[in-house]
Every structure is written in C-alpha cells, then in structure tokens.
Amino acid sequence: MRDQPRFKEDALNLFVFAKRVPDTESKIKINHETKSIVEEGLNFVVNPYDEFAVEEALRIKEAKGGQVTVFSVGSEEAKTVLKKCLAMGADEAILIKDDSGETYDALRTAKIIAQALKKKYTEYDLLLFGKQSVGADSSQVPSMVAALLDLPQVNVITKLVIEGNSGIAYREIEGALEKVTFPLPAVISAQKGLNEPRYETLKGIMAAKKKEIPVITLQELELQSEEIAPQLETVKMESPPARQAGQIIEDEPDVAVKKLVEFLHHDAKVI
Amino acid sequence: MILVYMEVREGKIKKSSLEVLSEAQRRGGDLGMETAAVLVGHGLDSLAPEVSRFGASKVYILENSLLSHYSPSGYTQALLSLTEEIKPEVMLFAATYMGKDLAPRLAAKLGVGLASDCTQTSINNGKLEVVRPIFAGKAFASFTFKSTPQMASLRPNVFPLGDPVDSQGETVKKEVVIPEAQVRDRVTEIVRAEGAELDVTEADIIVSGGRGLKGPENFDLLRELVSLLPHSSLGASRSAVDAEWIDHQHQVGQTGKTVSPNLYMAFGISGAIQHLAGMSSSKYIVAVNKDPEAPIFKVADFGIVGDLFQVIPPLKEELKKVLSE
C-alpha cells in the first residue's frame, strides 16, 4: 500500500523503464563468433512499446499531478533514449549503467531494476514498461520485476484507469480483453493501442539537452556479478533460413485464381 | 521430471498447452524422464483424463476457489509451492498471453532463467536446448540453461499434437492455501472482441490486408474469405493499422504479432522488412499485389501480380467449390 501522498492528493510518482533498441526497419546481421548481432550501422531508437509507457505516464501526471522518472539499463549510449523521453516531457531520467551488452537473460535486467528500486528509488506508485523490447522479444522483465518486488502486475494493457490507490487495466488476451483490478503500487506493461505517443517539442528538446542525467553503477547498487550472472547461455545465433520465391504469375484473374486454388489444394494441401 | 503448465480457458484445456505437453512427451522420451502436468484453478477435476491421454503420467490439480479467475500473483504462489515440492528438471509453458504473463513471474520467484516463445527444442548431453526467434524472426538464437528447472515457453501452433493414448495417469489434487490479500491482480471480467474472432497467433490460416485495400471498408472482402476458411483469422500490416483501418490486435509484424500459420495470404501488402519478420515462418505464403517488384513476392510460394479487387471475387467462388468437396 502507498504510505503518504507526496504531492497533492492523487498525485503519483511514476517510474518508466525504457530500452535502446534497433529500429524495426533494421536488417539484422549476425556475428557468429560473438553470437550476437552486429550493431554497427544500425539506427537505435526508444523501444516502441516503451514509448507507449512514457506517454501513459505523462497523461496520468497531466491528469493527477506527480512526477515522471524514466530509467534505462544499459551503456552510456542509452542516454540518447533517455534524452528523447525527457524531450517528450518526462521530469527526470536516470541511467543504470550496465555495459554487459544484450545477454537475452531478462532475469538479470529485472534483478538490476529491482535492486535499484529497493536500495535507491524506493518511493513509487506505478512502474510502467513496454510489453516487450523489440529485439530480445522476451516479454519477461515487467513480470520479473513485479515478482522480485512482490507487486501486482498487469501486462499487455490497452487501457488504464487509476483511481485513488487502485487501478483498473484491460489487458489483451486471445480474441478478448481481460479486465484486471489491482492496488498500487503495481507494475503495468503497455501494448500498442494504449495511446498515441506524442512527438517531442522543440522546447522539450532544448530543455532535455540541458538536463543532467544521473548515472548509477552496479557497484553503487551493491550487485555482485555472480548475483546477476546470466542464467541462459547463448549457444548460437543464426539468420533465418532464406525462403525461396515460388511461382509468380501474371495471368487474368480467373485463370490465376484457378491456378492458386489448385496449388493450395493439391500441392500445399492447406485447403 | 518435465512439468507442463496446462492453461484452462472457459473450462477447456488450451490446444497450445496440449501441443506443449506433446513436445514434453517427446523430449521426456529422449531424457528418460516422466512428464507431469499441472492445472491451477477451481473445479478442474473433469479435465484430468484429457491431460492424461496426451501423455501426462501425473496430473497435479492445484485447487483454490480464489483462483477460479486468472491472477498472476495468485497462480504464481500456487505453482511455486508445487515446484518447490516436486523439483522438476524442466518446466514448460505455452507462450500464450497467460503463459507469457505467468512464466516470468514464476521464474523470477525461483531465481531461474526463462526462454520465451521457443520454436524448437532438443536434448544435448542430457540438457534442454531451445531455439527462439529474436527480432521477431530476423534472427534465431539457441539457448541452454544454467539453472534448474530449465524453463521455457513454447510458441503456439508450431509443435505437433501427439496422438492421444488410452492411458490412465495418476491425479494428485492439492488444496493450495493462499491468503486472499496475496491475490492482488485479479481478472474480474473478460470482454470479448467483436465477433469473438480467433487470434492470429492461433489460426491455421491468416488472411491479411495492407494499404492496397484502399480503405477500412474493404477489409470486409477479407472477412468474407475468413468466414469461408476453417480456423482462419484476419491479419493486417502496420500501415493499415496505423491508418486506423483495423484494430492493432490484427497487426502482424515486428510491432504486432509474430505468426506461423499453415497458410498466410497477403493481399495488398508490399512486404516491409518488419512485416516479413513477423510472418516469414509461415508454412505457405500467398501474395496478391499489383506491383511485381513488391518485396512480399520474394518470400511468397505463390504470387499473383494483379488487382486484389479482381482476384478476390473469383477466389471466393473457387474456394467454395473446393471446400464443399
């Protein structure tokens, strides 16, 4: 339960977690030696799902008051992601410096975040994440942080209402939405459809440029390397098998359709 | 032991959970390990025989009336007490919405690594190895686990169902004790999407549309095909979703869903890289597009260069003929 409100009644301390990822137009090349993707030449952006989380936090703050702080776990380069979130309107941004690169082990990231919130940033009402990072595609960090901090969780949400000390969220499932009620503090993760993220304003960009981004290290968080050693080992990484283009026809529609249905029915046997 | 979490929706076992159980059975054979299954909820006794038929030698039922609706914190509590007691070597989930929500919470409580949404499993030196698509399928990574239980969720619609057998597994029913205050994130209502459509991740056939449809109303043409084709669902490209022609639930691609149906039919979709990533693992791909240079044709097994508005009407008639045979 929330102790005392720190701002005016209803005001919320909102923490958002944003990751730096290659944009979705990127062609992914693999370094087979290091079993990782080649980062040179890629254009990095704020993870698109995290932008929905930032936007939602800003909207809650605008409606109820409070503060929006954005965190990123990553290398110095992740500051560009934090700058963008500041330019969108976040009040503060903090880099949790981790130079290990992508490990594909979500538990490691979740432990780092949970430790930061246990040791240093202990006052919050809502933790907002994207439903997954595009890239690692794990969809694990929000649930894991919730577990490590013993908080309720609602993932993949498309609607959120906060009232007093509790929330109602609608989360996507197969062909339906689940309505979930929960007390604060809590963890939510954003799905596309939750909102339409705003663009940064020129004023926001200028203000973000001037803003200091504090950096905290894993040492400061007193995290021993064995505690956060990845629990998954990458054995290999490969490009997907190339698909062979099949037959492409330019016949009259009636003829083309007959050939297509023949293919689906007799060759592919999928209909 | 390999333990499989069996998801129950509307009183029925999810097909994707049976797929996982079938895969567990195959890997259990490689490992010489017993396969067990676990169900969580209220009033689930009648489901145990079906689970046994798909190869679970033991079916655990974790019963508590507080768990009649899904709650990640409550379900995790229940599963935690069982896994700590029986200590499985491997634990598997279906990578459904529930599986992706629940497995990481349990993994963090157990302090173990988890591989999400895997599309292949194998056994190497007595250990589980999994392959999972990353970057929505632009790359594939293989992982092994450094912690026990080795935990993974498996993508729906990828692993074949085993043949049900006439076997009687043992059912172990446990009343779980959970203080009500610990069940804090509770589903209070399920709101069906209009038409209660089949989710694209679960469909055998996806009929998908892009900007070439020219407007939201023309998705109706694709809906007509969906209504003809068994176990099919409606998909869309990002540009169609961003133009607000259709809900994002239908979006296939890197900021939408990654799918691998038997048949993916792309109408008026040019094939942006982020779209191709999300559907390239489909078994068969059909594309209809006016532009012979559209990248979608590079991955299509069968392509028609032509106007989709002229192709769809005769296609409907031909499909009707074949389907009524």
How confident is the model at residue A5, as a pLDDT? Answer: 46
CB contact under 8 A, A105 and B201: no
Could you tell me if residue A248 is inside a domain?
no
**Tens digits of per-residue pLDDT, B127-177?**
999 999 999 999 999 999 999 999 999 999 999 999 999 877 899 999 999
How confident is the model at residue B191, as a pLDDT? Answer: 92
DSSP string for residues in A19-50: -EEE-TTPPP-EETTTTEE--TTPPEEE-HHH
Residue whose C-alpha is closest to residue A95's, from A17, A204, A9, A179 = A17
Overall average pLDDT of the B18-37 stretch:
96
Overall average pLDDT of the A102-131 stretch:
98
> Would you list the domain boundaries of chain B?
2-182, 194-324
Q: β-strand A166-173 against A153-163: which pairing, if any? A: antiparallel
> Does position B31 have pLDDT exceeding 60, yes or no?
yes
The CATH topology of domain B194-324 is Rossmann fold (3.40.50)
Rounded CA Rg of chain A: 22
How confident is the model at residue B166, as a pLDDT? Answer: 87
> Does position B197 have pLDDT exceeding 90, yes or no?
no
How confident is the model at residue A1, as a pLDDT? Answer: 44
How confident is the model at residue A242, as a pLDDT? Answer: 87
Same fold, B2-182 and B194-324: yes
Could you tell me if residue A60 is inside a domain?
yes
Partner-chain residue, chosen from B97, B144, B262, that has the shortest CB–CB distance to A172: B97
Q: Structural domain tally of chain A? A: 1
The CATH topology of domain B2-182 is Rossmann fold (3.40.50)
Domain that holds residue A137: 12-217
Identify the three-state secondary structure at position B1: coil
How far does Cα A129 stand from its chain's mean position? 5
How confident is the model at residue B168, as a pLDDT? Answer: 78
**Tens digits of per-residue pLDDT, A149-163?**
999 999 999 999 999
CB contact under 8 A, A231 and B112: yes
How confident is the model at residue A8, as a pLDDT? Answer: 61
Percentage with pLDDT > 70 across chain A:
97
CB contact under 8 A, A231 and B147: yes
Percentage with pLDDT > 90 across chain B:
94
| Non-local CB neighbours of B147 within 8 Å, separated by 6+ positions | A231, B110, B111, B112, B113
> Does position B35 have pLDDT exceeding 80, yes or no?
yes
Could you tell me if residue A266 is inside a domain?
no
CB contact under 8 A, B185 and A154: yes
Q: How many CB pairs under 8 A join A and B?
A: 295
Could you tell me if residue A192 is inside a domain?
yes
**Tens digits of per-residue pLDDT, B44-58?**
999 999 999 999 999
**Tens digits of per-residue pLDDT, B77-103?**
999 999 999 999 999 999 999 999 999
Shortest CA distance from B97: residue in chain A: A173
CA–CA dist A234, A102 (Å, integer) = 11
pLDDT band, residue A6 (cuts 50/70/90): low
Could you tell me if residue A34 is inside a domain?
yes
pLDDT band, residue A34 (cuts 50/70/90): very high
**CA atoms in the 13 A half-sphere facing the CB of B232:** 20
Q: Which of A173-177, B167-171, B200-204 has the lowest mean pLDDT?
A: B167-171
Partner-chain residue, chosen from A27, A107, A137, that has the shortest CB–CB distance to B273: A27
The pTM score is 0.96
Which of B101, B145, B319 has the most A C-beta neighbours within 10 Å, making it the best mutation to test the interface with A? Answer: B101
CB contact under 8 A, B185 and A152: yes
Overall average pLDDT of the B251-275 stretch:
96
Identify the three-state secondary structure at position B135: helix
> Does position B190 have pLDDT exceeding 60, yes or no?
yes
Whichever domain contains A140, its CATH number is 3.40.50.620
Overall average pLDDT of the A165-191 stretch:
96
Interface contact A237, partner B, CB < 8 A: yes
pLDDT band, residue B315 (cuts 50/70/90): very high
Interface contact A47, partner B, CB < 8 A: no
In chain B, residues with a C-beta closer than 8 Å to the C-beta of A254 are: 314
CB contact under 8 A, B191 and A253: no
Q: How far is B98 from chain A (nearest CA, A)?
A: 8
Which structure tokens are listed for B142? 């293989």
DSSP string for residues in A135-186: TT----HHHHHHHHTT--EEEEEEEEEEETTEEEEEEEETTEEEEEEEESSE
Partner-chain residue, chosen from A37, A171, A248, that has the shortest CB–CB distance to B305: A248
Could you tell me if residue A268 is inside a domain?
no
